[in-house]
Amino acid sequence: MALASRTRRMLEALVREGSLNWLLSRRSSFSEEFEELESSPSAGNNWIPELSPAANIVVRRCSRILETSSSELQESFNTEASDSIKHKSRYARNFLEYCCFRALALSTQGMGHLADKKFRRLTFDMMVAWEAPAAASQSLINLDDDLSIGIEAFSRIAPAVPIIANVIICENLFEVLTISTGGRLHFSIYEKYLNGLERVIKKMKSQSESSLLSAVRSTRGEKILEVDGTVTTQPVLEHVGISTWPGRLILTDHALYFEALRVVSYDKPKRYDLSDDLKQTVKPELTGPWGTRLFDKAVLYKSISLSEPAIIEFPELKGHTRRDYWLAVIREILYVHRFINKFHITGIEKDDALSKAILGILRVQAIQEISSSSTVCFESLLMFNLCDKLPGGDLILETLANMSSSRGLDWGNNILASGGMYSISALTTVLNLGVMFGSSSNNPSEAGLLVGELAVGEMSSLERAVKESRENYKKVVLAQETVNGVKADGIDTNLAVMKELLLPVMEVGKWLLSLVYWDDPLKSLLFSLISTFIIFRGWLGYTLALTLVLIAIFMVVTRFCNQGRPLVELKLVQDGNIVLLKFRALLLSIFPQASDRFAALLVFMALILALVPSKFMLLVVFWETFTRYSPLRKASTERWMRRLREWWFSIPAAPVVLETQKQKEKDAKKRK
């Protein structure tokens, strides 16, 4: 009773002082609850002194969902949380997160929660309260009718409901949603986005329950994610050689299907697998009549199971948005299966990974519905696409795989014991939405052992990996700006000229690369053994001499064969290219961190050259080069080559000024 009286006196004092006049006059989503709280005889049990008014109201809503009181929630938090999480400086925000995660885990169990206006308002108000959770910060927000939230609050609360966002793409999603509002997300746009999500979920469920591909899908347990080509104004065309067929394109969680349209029915569907390791390549392609390459509106699919690539075209009058969308979603399914196969993920962890990809596709579809802009980068909203592009994206996936492998029964028991210290998983969300698939479809209780990507009061290993990757990406962007700045007045043209001049060498290089990448293991092994024998016997000089003789013979034969024919002229516009400018940047220490590493590498190479006999050094270099893509070393090689590429792209090009002839003449006159 003493606590209730003290709380009521504090609220009455705030009203008398005018501190809450703005709240009572503007009838926000918080106003009615605040008035009810003020007049309630049990106000003391629902008011946490450490929290701001907004945070108290959100906690009160959470307690209603959980059918408990705010004080009991606080007691549970104090019992479950570690001392570092309960530190005074972080107590208010961490306790608020704890209440939010527990309430969201329970309120998302119903299939129709996205359509519930109270749920929409609750999730948004959670973000509002997160920005100013402590009692001392109550004056930092203005709880009027036009509330807005920033990227930090969105990134912390939205991924707790995996259908809304996830840790990897949440910043990009926030930028898309706030592109017209200056970096602040308003409830009207947020609600519009959730409306879009609700519609696309209903669409996916109706597609999965339809008879499309029923014979094929029943044996494989596949679910339909997208269908195109059913509307005559938006056809889909498949190019086979010089022939073209219209038809229906269907994407499932394991494959891509194309059904050619005949007179009154569809042909048997062609299946383009995305789940097995078939060396698939999915990329944009140019198409045109009779095999010409005119229109940039198609997707090429190539694998070792096909005798020739499949080309799917998405005709539209302006731009290639449809193609870009389909390219992104096809790659998302391909990349998630590569992730699953690479890290040998099985069981409910595999279903959870597929759930992440499916939810990403749903989010992209929702953005398409609510956005009229054609400049949306679909790859940035799909986590597996994004990890393929981001510097260190492979490390993000490795972290994700480690989190999946550690979600065994031991961690699961700890999670069950710790209640609401974690957000819910993507698989749990998909099952709650009524989309049943995979091995866990008949046993949804197993999904409860999984947790989401967020933990109360802590930055997870996944969040740390994403943060580091984004910081590295910013460096790459800055470096790329310097490269784009020097691609002018012939510098980039010079690179094209060099490629033309070195075409024969490049063809030989392609042949050598096929050996290096072990495309044909027998040929690569034979070449390695022969080359090792030549180097070990000291015949390398003779081999080089024989190569020079063969080149001389080629020149003589070419001279007699091309007599009287005109020579095609090549005009060099400017000297220099991007590679040389990057090396100049390294030598001049324009990027000190990269220059330090490069200098250390040069010292190491100098020591090797000075101490190791040349014969053994050549053997080591040769074997390192020609075994790096062998089955035993392929995984580590890909990881190190990706680090090397990211390091190279992060190096800015040295600044350059190209002087015209007139400028040179002016400078010469000034010197005179």
189-221: pLDDT as tens digits:
999 999 999 999 999 888 876 777 877 776 777
Is the per-residue pLDDT at 250 higher than 90? yes
Report the pLDDT value the prediction gives residue 554, as an integer from 0 to 100. 61
Report the pLDDT value the prediction gives residue 453, as an integer from 0 to 100. 82
Is the per-residue pLDDT at 489 higher than 60? no
Higher local confidence (pLDDT), 315 or 552: 315
Closest CA to 398 of 161, 648, 635, 165: 635
pLDDT class of 604 with cuts at 50, 70, 90:
confident
pLDDT class of 437 with cuts at 50, 70, 90:
low
pLDDT class of 446 with cuts at 50, 70, 90:
low
Please give the Cα distance from 654 to 672 (Å, whole number): 30
Are residues 37 and 47 in contact, defined by beta-carbon separation less than 8 angstroms? yes
| Residues 587-610, mean pLDDT to the nearest whole number | 70
- The runs of H, that is alpha helices, within 238-344 are 321-342
> Is 82 strand, coil or helix?
coil
Report the pLDDT value the prediction gives residue 298, as an integer from 0 to 100. 94
Total-model pTM: 0.77
Higher local confidence (pLDDT), 664 or 585: 585
Report the pLDDT value the prediction gives residue 339, as an integer from 0 to 100. 95
Q: What angle do CA 68, 457, 361 make, to 5 degrees?
A: 90
Strand partners, 422: 455
Are residues 254 and 358 in contact, defined by beta-carbon separation less than 8 angstroms? no
Report the pLDDT value the prediction gives residue 408, as an integer from 0 to 100. 46
Domains of the chain: 28-199 (no CATH), 205-392+413-438 (2.30.29.30)
Please give the Cα distance from 291 to 312 (Å, whole number): 13
Report the pLDDT value the prediction gives residue 502, as an integer from 0 to 100. 59
Residues 473-480: contacts with CB within 8 Å, 24+ apart?
473/390, 473/391, 475/391, 475/650, 476/391, 476/646, 476/649, 476/650, 478/652, 479/591, 479/649, 479/650, 479/651, 479/652, 479/653, 480/649
Higher local confidence (pLDDT), 517 or 169: 169
Closest CA to 19 of 128, 135, 125: 135
Q: What is the pLDDT of residues 220-249, one digit of tens each?
A: 778 899 999 988 888 999 987 778 889 999
Per cent of the chain over pLDDT 90 is: 34
Is the per-residue pLDDT at 389 higher than 60? yes
Q: What is the pLDDT of residues 116-158, one digit of tens each?
A: 999 999 999 999 999 989 888 766 666 655 789 999 999 999 9
